[in-house]
Structure 1
Amino acid sequence: MAAELDTSSMSDALVILGAAGLVIPVFARFRITPVIGFILIGVAVGPFGLGKLVYDRPWLNYVTITDPEALSIYAEFGIILLLFGIGLELSFKRLWQMRRLVFGLGAAELMIIGTIAAVVLSMMGQYWTGALALGFALAFSSTAIVLPISGTSSPVGRAALSMLLFEDIMIVPIIFILGAMAPNAQAEGWEGLLDTLWMGGLVILAMMVLGRLLLPYLFAQAARTKSPELFLAASMLVVIAASLATSVVGLSPIVGALIAGLLIAETEYHGEVEAIMEPFKGLALGVFLITVGMSIDLLTIWDNLWSILGAVLLVLVFKAVVTGVLLRLMGARRSTAAETGILMASPSETTLIVIAAASAALLIQPGTAQFWQIVTAIGLTVTPMLALLGRHIARRVEPAPEITTPDDSEQPVIIVGAGRVGRLVSDMLATHGKPYIAIDSDSDQIETARRLGYRATFADAARADAMTRMGVERSPAVVLTMDEPVLAERLTRKLRKLHPDLLIVARARDTEHAAELYRAGASHAVPETLESSLQLSEAVLVDIGVAMGPVIASIHEKRDEYRVQIEREGALDYKPKLRTSTAEG
């Protein structure tokens, strides 16, 4: 029996990994979001797809999901990681700045849509408690699908984020209220809600205090080990501990995950945590989308085709209109209101949770629950297409304003290394009004630099995605200041391959190392021994009475002479063409 269970679990894991390996590259090739692909895979391998044929063809057991319920915990973990990622992109300061949108726009959107939908369903014959449950269930929009499409920095993304954050906050109160409205519920339902709220408040306060004290120390220790595995383990520990803490007192685990992300966003390690968690978040969200697809019964849809399609269309149009009107009333542009309204029109994964809670509380019949679950699943499936439709309509409603792209000189110079040399380069850039960002994988150096007032953050430049995350494609220059010759050569070669026009200035130990850096593609390699000799010469010449002007001119001449010699010795095959704006700057 145990062996059979292990084989079943293993085949399910292979189906999921195979789906990810197939869906992500194929849909990326055609520039289509993989959301649709994962949902279609769920339809195909689920109990209503090929799973129906397993009894007649046992070999299909190896390419289908045999136990859909076993995936639910992984699907929920995907949502937890998504909210954790949202927290990393925000901060308490930014969240406070969004309070008007979250508790104004977000509250108005949920309450108005939920109330109107409940009234309409009640007029159609649904008992008022069930109508209220279904109305608010349909008012939710999909955090898991909408935010990866919209992002959080654009006007559409900020509006969507504010509404989704309020919806996530309201999940627990709504489910508690549904339980209290159940025919067999007693007063304990309302008392349980109050207990959850005050205990949840205490837990959140404790998390914020302890997080600010402990998280910087925890990630600093992980960073000192130079071990990505330990960094990942620390990140997972924080996410799971925060989610469990809020779950224990009755709050949703996604609340804990969001707060954990917000707390880490206040530290200098948030970029590294975000990068190291990204692959796991993507895979877990893929599992969630597969579970959505597995809930779609194509035969049931065919038998009730017109009523289901009519319900889907009514929900999408109704939510899009109400959301768009609310955004316009709050001052949003016509294009932003139209695109956000259409993007937020579909129901949510939370809709499925609320419908299940209402069914368990006997507020709606099982057949009604199944009907609206299918409507929700179809709505989730078409969300990416709604996003495309929203962008198209937004362009027709109001052309996008002309945006002037700033030149490279307005982007920060990336200084790799926050030690003595890196801080000196930072001082010189700041003196001349040039923005910079210093990065280092040594947490002690980062702590020292930040304490001294430098703009520095934790990042391991040796990681493939670290420099991309820092915006190297827009940066006017990268300065390599670390005293690690092998790493400097490797990083120079990698940057030159990916960014042929990038200005790369590297610190070299001596002239031989400088020649190696030129061969790797450095724009300038500055040997320490040469510069110290030139500075000694300058000091002695000035002190013995030689005028400063001729001394500086001769120093520059000698530096150029050595540079030409080093380049010649390095047998330079490729001299990068520098960006015009950088050369002039």
Structure 2
Amino acid sequence: MTDFLLLAFIFLCAGVISVPIASRLGLGSVLGYLIAGIIISPILALLHVDVIAIQHFAEFGVVMMLFLVGLELEPKMLWAVRAKLLGLGGGQVGITTLVVMGLCMAFGQPWSIALAIGLVMALSSTAIVLQTLNEKGLMKSDGGQSSFSVLLTQDIAVIPMLALLPLLAMPELMDVASDAVAHGADAAHGGDDHSGEGDHGSAMSLVEGLNGWQTMLVTVGSVIAVILGGSFLTSPIFRFIAGAGLRELFVAGALLIVIGIALLMSLVGLSPALGTFIAGVVLANSAYRHELESDIDPFRGLLLGLFFMSVGAGINFALLSENLGSILGMTLGLIAVKALVLLGLARIFKIEGADKWLFALGLAQAGEFGFVLLSFTVAGNIIPTSIADILLLVVALSMLLTPALFIIYDRLIAPRYSEEEAREADDIDADSNIIIAGHGRVGGMVARILRAAGHTPTVIDYSSKQLDMLEKFGVKAYFGDASRPDLLHAAGIHEAKLIVIAIDNKEQINEMTHYIHTNHPHVHIMARALDRNHVYELYAAGCRDIIRETYDSSLRMGRSAFEALGVPSDKANDMVAVFDQSDREGMVEVADTYDVNISPFENEAFMAKIREVAPRREAEVREQMHKILQRNSKGEEQL
């Protein structure tokens, strides 16, 4: 028990310390976990910890992650993106496999081993790429969506790969292939790193002793069983569990489904992650989908972090130091090959600008399934252990380098494309006394309302895509940075009656407000406030027509809440109007003490004023609301 607690303490300490530091440095959580594993690897070695066994346990985090990914995918959606899955994803897997296979054969490997290596290296890291894209907010970009399509294809492709690989087993070639490995690899390895993998032959299996075609039939049958079970058994199971009314039983039921599917896949020699992924897709339309997500996600996060730490801790530095040049060359060569293939596909599928580099660099690594497939190939006499050991290092190093590739994209490539894609501001020839700065979800609605009344506001927006979309609908707008004084002058600020500042950058809103209030005091400024403190900042800048972007919708929700509690609509309106008036007057009362140069919480005068005004205003509002209810109630009784 003490050994287990000590090991858990070491891993948790490493993750809790390393990941926040890495995230603050912009390296991402995945690299933080990998670095944490590398740092604690000497401690684990001193304690004689079997890192490979921990890695096998932690792989269940990948299993859970793919189950959750599958839950997000509806079969209809998969059919809708079939072109990208087959063309973009299928092209990446097929072309990369063939290129890597050709290079391996050029270096003397037999075709069967070369093909197996090509299949392993064609895959990318679903865990790293998806997590990094989500953290950086790039998932919805064209490059992010294309990357997701390729990763999804790769995950699906593992099924035929695992069915094909046993057919490549050629034990008589093992010695020949081993001789093609650089001198010193066997000595450095010593045959210890795959003690965990070597047990596959003695483990329970439903396909042991079957030939290739029989294995394939059992495998396909198991996949069909997962699909049918997910479609017809999940709802009855959860209805039965719901009868107990215990939350922990739902968690147990969710884990039961995932572990049961993973076990079945393991028994037929398939990747458990792929089985749970298929089950997730089947359950995407289930009424219990969100329950499954919430129950499994905490386990997924912890185990995925443990998996990456075990990858970092499992790096064989002795073998790496013996073959540093060749292993580093193979790693960089693999990244270059995959990036070139992806750039070619990006050109064919019209992924342009910075998105093509996000797509190419993001998927240029090998993936976590490489560890699983290499273990499978060693156990099946497909790839010799000596080669697999070096390939494991290539996979791990390429994954370690992936955050660096994203940093290159963020700091070198994306800024350059942003500059290149910037266009000159349009010449504004409109004749209008209304200017709207920003045509997003706020400014766009204001513009529609004004046009409906016959006005023709001059709309300025800094998003080329937004303006291209508006042009398709026949809406005239001008490109440019509305915070620039020269552009405001061109838009007619000196003759304007009204300017609506609806951009979503707080600093730019403040600067525009201050400039217009100072230099064009005749113009009525209506400014969008992003939050309550922003109201005070705009008030200090001279604006007196400030619209909090969520305030009116919140008032409407408050009115609806009263109505839901049985208050008639007219009473609810009066009560909300009382609150609205008091809130606005209270903010004006406090505004003069606000100082834009210090934090509100450090401004003693501001905080003291709020402590004075808030209780008084709240009591006044409560009293007035009570009078409204009493007055209306008496009126109804008299009627």
Q: Residue 171 of structure 1 is aligned with which of 127, 142, 158? A: 158
Instruction: Specify the alignment match of 2:324 in structure 1.
Output: 305
1:560 paired with 2:574, answer yes
Deviation sequence 1:552-579 (CA, Å, 0-9, x none)? xxx57x9627974999999544999xxx
**Deviation of the 1:178 alpha carbon:** 3.5
Q: Residue 131 of structure 2 is aligned with which of 133, 140, 148? A: 148
Partner Cα separation in structure 2 for residue 195 and residue 401 of structure 1: 59
**Deviation of the 1:93 alpha carbon:** 1.2
Partner Cα separation in structure 1 for residue 208 and residue 580 of structure 2: 79
Contact 1:180 1:190 in 2 (8 A): no
Deviation sequence 1:144-191 (CA, Å, 0-9, x none)? 2112122454422332222223322333443444433333489x9997
Instruction: Specify the alignment match of 1:371 in structure 2.
Output: 390
Instruction: Specify the alignment match of 2:197 in structure 1.
Output: none
Partner Cα separation in structure 2 for residue 203 and residue 249 of structure 1: 8
Change (3 A) 1:572 1:110: same
Q: Residue 327 of structure 1 is aligned with which of 323, 328, 346? A: 346
**Deviation of the 1:112 alpha carbon:** 1.2
Instruction: Specify the alignment match of 2:255 in structure 1.
Output: 236
Q: Which amino acid aligns with 2:368?
A: E
Contact 1:114 1:136 in 2 (8 A): yes
1:37 paired with 2:32, answer yes
Instruction: Specify the alignment match of 1:258 in structure 2.
Output: 277
Q: Residue 393 of structure 1 is aligned with which of 398, 413, 416? A: 413
SS in 2 for 1:526: helix
Q: Residue 526 of structure 1 is aligned with which of 552, 555, 562? A: 562
**Deviation of the 1:235 alpha carbon:** 2.0
**Deviation of the 1:83 alpha carbon:** 0.3
SS in 2 for 1:70: helix
What is the correspondence of 1:415-430 to structure 2 with a 5 Å cutoff?
Answer: none
Instruction: Specify the alignment match of 1:283 in structure 2.
Output: 302
Q: Over the residues paired in the alignment, what is the CA RMSD in angstroms?
A: 3.9
Q: Residue 16 of structure 2 is aligned with which of 16, 21, 26? A: 21
Change (3 A) 1:358 1:241: closer
Change (3 A) 1:95 1:123: same
Q: Which amino acid aligns with 1:78?
A: G
Instruction: Specify the alignment match of 1:489 in structure 2.
Output: none
Q: Residue 314 of structure 1 is aligned with which of 322, 326, 333? A: 333
Contact 1:295 1:374 in 2 (8 A): no
Q: Which amino acid aligns with 2:441?
A: P
SS in 2 for 1:66: coil
What is the correspondence of 1:87-98 to structure 2 with a 5 Å cutoff?
Answer: 87-98=70-81
1:406 paired with 2:425, answer no
Q: Residue 69 of structure 1 is aligned with which of 47, 52, 63? A: 52
Q: Which ranges in structure 2 are unaligned for 5 or more consecutive residues?
A: 174-206, 424-437, 446-529, 531-548, 583-613, 622-639
What is the correspondence of 1:197-276 to structure 2 with a 5 Å cutoff?
Answer: 197-216=216-235, 218-219=237-238, 227-276=246-295
Contact 1:523 1:575 in 2 (8 A): no
TM-score normalised over the length of structure 1: 0.64
SS in 1 for 2:279: helix
Deviation sequence 1:475-522 (CA, Å, 0-9, x none)? x9xxxxxxxxxxxxxxxxxxxxxx985844699xxxxxxxxxxxxxx6
Change (3 A) 1:336 1:531: same
Change (3 A) 1:387 1:529: closer
1:127 paired with 2:162, answer no
When Rg is computed on C-alpha atoms for both structures, the one with the higher figure is 2
Change (3 A) 1:404 1:282: farther
Instruction: Specify the alignment match of 1:50 in structure 2.
Output: 43
Partner Cα separation in structure 2 for residue 72 and residue 570 of structure 1: 57
Q: Which amino acid aligns with 1:393?
A: I
Q: Which amino acid aligns with 1:18?
A: C
Deviation sequence 1:408-436 (CA, Å, 0-9, x none)? 999xxxxxxxxxxxxxxxxxxxxxxxxxx
Q: Which amino acid aligns with 1:134?
A: I
What's the % identity of the aligned pairs?
28
Change (3 A) 1:200 1:300: closer
**Deviation of the 1:195 alpha carbon:** 3.4
Contact 2:23 2:32 in 1 (8 A): no
Change (3 A) 1:147 1:574: farther
Q: Which moved more, 1:131-140 or 1:558-567?
A: 558-567
**Deviation of the 1:315 alpha carbon:** 1.0
SS in 2 for 1:82: helix
Change (3 A) 1:378 1:501: farther
Change (3 A) 1:50 1:387: same
Partner Cα separation in structure 1 for residue 288 and residue 315 of structure 2: 41
Contact 1:244 1:256 in 2 (8 A): no
Change (3 A) 1:215 1:289: same
Partner Cα separation in structure 1 for residue 553 and residue 617 of structure 2: 16
Give the count of matched residue pairs: 435
Instruction: Specify the alignment match of 2:400 in structure 1.
Output: 381
Partner Cα separation in structure 2 for residue 109 and residue 336 of structure 1: 16
Contact 1:8 1:66 in 2 (8 A): no
1:139 paired with 2:139, answer no
**Deviation of the 1:350 alpha carbon:** 2.0
Partner Cα separation in structure 2 for residue 349 and residue 69 of structure 1: 14
Contact 1:80 1:254 in 2 (8 A): yes
SS in 1 for 2:567: helix
Partner Cα separation in structure 2 for residue 101 and residue 147 of structure 1: 17
Q: Which amino acid aligns with 1:211?
A: G
**Deviation of the 1:345 alpha carbon:** 0.6
Contact 2:90 2:153 in 1 (8 A): yes
Q: Which moved more, 1:87-96 or 1:27-36?
A: 27-36
SS in 1 for 2:562: strand
Q: Which amino acid aligns with 1:50?
A: I
TM-score normalised over the length of structure 2: 0.59
